Amino acid sequence: MQFFLSCARGLEPLVESELKSFGAKEIKPTGAGVWFGDDSGSALEDAYRASLWSRVGSRVLLPLIETEATTDGLYDRSVIFDWSQHLPAGCRMKIDFSGTNGQIRDTRFGALKLKDAIVDWFRDAGLAEPSLDNHDPDIVLSVRLANKAISIALDLTGEGLHRRGYRSRQGIAPLRESLAASLLMRASWPEVSAAQGSLVDPMCGSGTIAIEAVLMATDRAPGLKRQSWGFEKWPRHDEKIWKKLREEAQQRFDVGRESYSGKITGMDIDTRVLKVARDNASAAGIQEFVQFQTSDVRDLSNDSEGSGLVISNPPYGERLGGKERAEALYRDLGQQLRNQFVGWKAGVLAPSADFGRSLGMHSHKHYQVQNGKLDCLFYLFDIEPGVELTTNTVKTPSEGAKMVAARIRKNRARLKSWLNRSGVENYRVYDADIPEYSAAVDIYTVRDPNEDLKQIFVIQEYAAPAEIEEGKAKHRFNELCTGVQLAFDCDEDQLIRKTRQRQKGSAQYERSDEGSSIEHRVYEGPVQLLVNFEGYLDTGLFLDHRPIRKWIGEQAKDKKFLNLFCYTAVPSLHAIRGGASESLSLDMSNTYLDWARRNYRLNDADVWKHQTKRADCIAWLKQDVGEEGLFDLILLDPPTFSNSKKMEGTLDIQRDQLELIDGAMKRLAPGGVLIFSNNLRRFKLDPAVSEKYQIEDFTTASLDPDFQRNSRIHQCYLIRHSD
């Protein structure tokens, strides 16, 4: 069995760490969740343990079916599936269907189509037919339509894992339990509580953060008090294993509640919401570990011995009736932290950088988090004596910097829904939108060795026209960099500044004079890869080709894939993840082939089936088809121009396109597809290519929203043999 533990985007590293601590096997993080489980026989126990113990996960899913996203595909695949393995005869089921396309325009229609297939299977099997029941189901099926596929999974959780069973009432704008737990983890509460440190939430509301802190400090499984689970009526449920895990969790809590001696305090000025907090703590069975007090944040004091953590989600404008009043509250909180909690750690959730700056302290790290529908920043502080700095090093930004920041914020708002829907973590947020500030700004979300997320902003300056004075161009570039800091409230060390000029030949791949060998790990969908921000003019990942790589992954199952001019072989990684039977990636640079091999190791690729080879692609294509044979998918993405000493002659993509395409088509199996891409903005496809082969212009489809403003950044064609 292989399971999927879903989570909010950005929390994948925390979920991965949880699963490792549970002893789960074959752990593979991806967007909005982590895969785990193998055929060792312990996978079911791992799934139960994740359900019981995950503090930040959302749901544990068991994938059952994946099929094409059509009404016929959904019905035909589902009506032949053996549903008796997962649904009891005559059960009540809920179908949670999300996503639409041209054929399935309504989620209710998709759910009914699946229900019809399931009912027909049970009828044909002579068993009692299931019925739909959205209010009190025995079994929940989770169905997701995305891109061109539909995936159907069994939801073992039922209600989301954030529902711990203790919150019967809540205050205004409550914090979800799983988000509260993630903030505590980011703020190092597990380490602080293990050292018997204390915790204070000066604006606790209905007490979610304080209660979650108690659960962690006393080693109480978050799911221990839950009364119902989605797997209880599942035919393959193993009650013996589940009972053993619950008894083990109760024993751990019995030990944990005796060993924790720290002090946990929740405060709020609203006595009514404190009554709710006390009721919630009582429902959780941990009321003796947390004290709730009526207090104004301006009177906040520290009566705890030793050090600890102050953590809070203060109210902001919508809850207080105005931004100015809310920012004053943040200023008061910051002042009391500096006065009363020197030597402590602090974590504060803020709706924007303006609120963060109001705290008047320097944060050593901050995270972007989503609280409901609101994008927020979670600031972490080490409170030191006598230091009063803003959370942003930008002091008095110029009007130009403010203008750039405003444009970037507008672009982020435009891209927000797409980013949430697609799970894209590395993208372009600005591309010379304001002509006077001519640069591209790319965002990379990197993982450090501790699996913490950090955003890096790569700012690539386009070469200024000759008539622009060098000093003026430099001043504008500095203003643009300041605008990035304003827009993202980021530190200087998160900025990578590059001056980009038009490159010739292989110059775009060469090391910079002041190169760095530091590599960072990023995710692109199911693929992990290494990028280098300073060692080369390019990072190792061409962001504009993202949809092409995704398409390759979707088409690659059971196919042979050839990657010509492979660079760091990221498209090959997608083909491998997509189930390619074998692949060959060619490049003439040993440096980039070594980089590609490191990417392969990172993704556990089978290097016997998926090979890299040093070769001059132009000369290689001129050879007779050798032992490699024919390929079902071929990517031909050559440089625009090259006169490298390692290759025979020169390459000019406009001039040499027919020769390259002919050579690649000679290697293409019947029914296969050649993906031909290039970055020459004035490129025109040779009419002879259209005369010889079937051509599909894939350029528009190969541009995600972050690159649609610059529609000529590359051109892409799908080429097939003529009938």
For residue 710, what is the domain's CATH number?
A: 3.40.50.150
Residue type, 132: L
Query: Is pLDDT of 594 > 90?
Result: yes
- What percent of the chain has a predicted confidence (pLDDT) above 90? 64
Separation of alpha carbons 288 and 282, rounded Å: 8
Q: Is residue 625 part of a domain?
A: yes
Q: Which residue has the tokens 């050090």?
A: 307
Residue 646 has what pLDDT? Answer: 56
Query: Is pLDDT of 517 > 50?
Result: yes
**Dihedral angle sign, alpha carbons of residues 99, 104, 109, 110:** negative
pLDDT confidence tier of residue 210, bands split at 50, 70 and 90: very high
Nearby residues of 134 by Cβ (< 8 Å), 6 or more positions away: 94
Residue 44 has what pLDDT? Answer: 93
Nearby residues of 392 by Cβ (< 8 Å), 6 or more positions away: 353, 356, 357, 485, 486, 489
DSSP string, 287-340: GGGEEEEE--GGG-----SS-EEEEE----HHHHT-HHHHHHHHHHHHHHHHHH
How large is the angle between the packed helices 590-602 and 570-577, nearest 10 degrees?
30
The CATH number linked to 140 is 3.30.2130.30
Token pair, residue 158, equals 């039922």
- What percent of the chain has a predicted confidence (pLDDT) above 70? 92
Mean pLDDT of 665-669: 95
Query: Is pLDDT of 504 > 50?
Result: no
Residue type, 425: E
Q: Is residue 685 part of a domain?
A: yes
CA distances from 654 to 564, 639, 664, 680, 710 (A): 17, 11, 16, 8, 20
Nearby residues of 88 by Cβ (< 8 Å), 6 or more positions away: 138, 139, 233, 235
Q: In 10 A of CB 315, how many CB atoms? A: 22
The CATH number linked to 459 is 3.30.750.80
Q: Is residue 392 part of a domain?
A: no
* 80 or 9, which is more confident: 80
Mean pLDDT of 57-63: 95
Q: In 10 A of CB 184, how many CB atoms? A: 26
Residue type, 675: I
* 175 or 598, which is more confident: 598
Does 32 share its domain with 145? yes
Are 524 and 541 spatial neighbours (Cβ–Cβ below 8 Å)? yes
Does 365 share its domain with 409? no
How many residues are recorded in the chain?
723
Tens digit of pLDDT for each residue in 369-403? 888 878 888 999 998 765 444 444 445 678 889 99
Q: Among residues 357, 495, 389, which one has the least CA distance to residue 439?
A: 495
What phi, psi does 385 have (nearest 5°)?
Answer: -70, 140
* 651 or 522, which is more confident: 522
- What's the maximum distance between 2 C-alpha atoms anywhere in the chain? 83
Q: Which of 151-165, 263-277, 594-608, 617-631 has the lowest mean pLDDT?
A: 617-631
Q: In 10 A of CB 336, how many CB atoms? A: 18
Does 22 share its domain with 122? yes
Mean pLDDT of 8-22: 91
Query: Which of 450, 483, 501 is at the close of a domain?
Result: 501
Query: Which of 349, 382, 415 is at the close of a domain?
Result: 382
Does 627 share its domain with 602? yes
Using CA atoms of 50, 52, 54, 56 in order, give the dihedral in degrees to the nearest 10.
Answer: 130
Token pair, residue 407, equals 């444009």
Which long-range contacts link 649-658 to residues 24+ away (Cβ below 8 Å)? 649/618, 651/618, 653/678, 653/680, 653/683, 654/680, 654/682, 654/683, 654/684, 656/618, 657/685, 657/686, 657/689, 658/686, 658/688, 658/689
Query: Is pLDDT of 552 > 90?
Result: yes
Neighbouring-strand partners of residue 33: 6, 30
Mean pLDDT of 236-258: 95
Residue 101 has what pLDDT? Answer: 85
Q: DSSP secondary-structure letter at 664? A: H
Token pair, residue 22, equals 């549970």
Separation of alpha carbons 284 and 165, rounded Å: 7
User: Burial code of 393-428, b = ≥16 C-beta within 10 A, e = fewer?
Assistant: ebeebeebbebbbebbbebbeebeeebeebbbbbbb
Residue 358 has what pLDDT? Answer: 86
Are 525 and 423 spatial neighbours (Cβ–Cβ below 8 Å)? yes
Query: Is pLDDT of 334 > 60?
Result: yes
For β-strands 365-371 and 3-6, DSSP reports them as unpaired
Neighbouring-strand partners of residue 12: none
Containing structural domain, residue 436 = 399-501
Separation of alpha carbons 552 and 572, rounded Å: 8
Which ranges constitute the DSSP H helices of 507-605? 546-555, 570-577, 590-602
Torsional class of 196: left (φ above 0), alpha (ψ -120 to 50), beta (otherwise): left
Tens digit of pLDDT for each residue in 524-546? 988 999 999 988 888 999 999 99
Mean pLDDT of 154-159: 93
Residue 365 has what pLDDT? Answer: 86
Residue 349 has what pLDDT? Answer: 94
Does 217 share its domain with 110? no
Does 565 share its domain with 696? yes
**Dihedral angle sign, alpha carbons of residues 6, 8, 11, 12:** positive
Stated as kind and residue range, the H or E segment containing 689 is: helix 687-692
Does 679 share its domain with 594? yes
Stated as kind and residue range, the H or E segment containing 5 is: strand 3-6
Does 599 share its domain with 648? yes
Separation of alpha carbons 75 and 244, rounded Å: 39
Q: Is residue 586 part of a domain?
A: yes
Does 23 share its domain with 104? yes
Q: Is residue 532 part of a domain?
A: no
Query: Which of 479, 501, 523 is at the close of a domain?
Result: 501
Q: Is residue 270 part of a domain?
A: yes
Ranges 299-313, 350-364, 514-528, 662-676, most confident: 662-676
Domain count, the chain: 4
Mean pLDDT of 50-60: 96
Query: Is pLDDT of 589 > 50?
Result: yes
Q: Is residue 263 part of a domain?
A: yes
Residue 509 has what pLDDT? Answer: 42
* HSE toward the beta carbon, residue 224, CA cutoff 13 A: 23
Query: Is pLDDT of 85 > 70?
Result: yes
* 150 or 505, which is more confident: 150
Q: What is the mean pLDDT of the chain?
A: 89
Query: Is pLDDT of 516 > 90?
Result: no
Query: Is pLDDT of 205 > 70?
Result: yes
H helix count then E strand count, the chain: 20, 30
Neighbouring-strand partners of residue 521: 447, 530
Residue type, 98: S
Does 377 share its domain with 403? no
Are 144 and 151 spatial neighbours (Cβ–Cβ below 8 Å)? yes
Separation of alpha carbons 12 and 187, rounded Å: 16
Neighbouring-strand partners of residue 520: 531
Residue 173 has what pLDDT? Answer: 60
Mean pLDDT of 42-67: 94
Tens digit of pLDDT for each residue in 263-284? 999 999 999 999 999 999 999 9
Separation of alpha carbons 652 and 643, rounded Å: 9
Does 597 share its domain with 713? yes
Neighbouring-strand partners of residue 377: 350, 368
Mean pLDDT of 243-253: 96
pLDDT confidence tier of residue 172, bands split at 50, 70 and 90: low
Q: Is residue 227 part of a domain?
A: no
Q: Among residues 3, 5, 23, which one has the least CA distance to residue 14?
A: 5
Query: Is pLDDT of 342 > 50?
Result: yes
Does 294 share its domain with 432? no
Residue 386 has what pLDDT? Answer: 56
Q: In 10 A of CB 704, how many CB atoms? A: 20
Q: In 10 A of CB 119, how many CB atoms? A: 17
Residue 513 has what pLDDT? Answer: 43
Q: What is the pTM of this model?
A: 0.72
For β-strands 59-68 and 149-155, DSSP reports them as antiparallel
Query: Is pLDDT of 557 > 60?
Result: yes
Query: Is pLDDT of 635 > 80?
Result: yes
* 383 or 216, which is more confident: 216
Separation of alpha carbons 611 and 383, rounded Å: 52
Residue type, 259: S
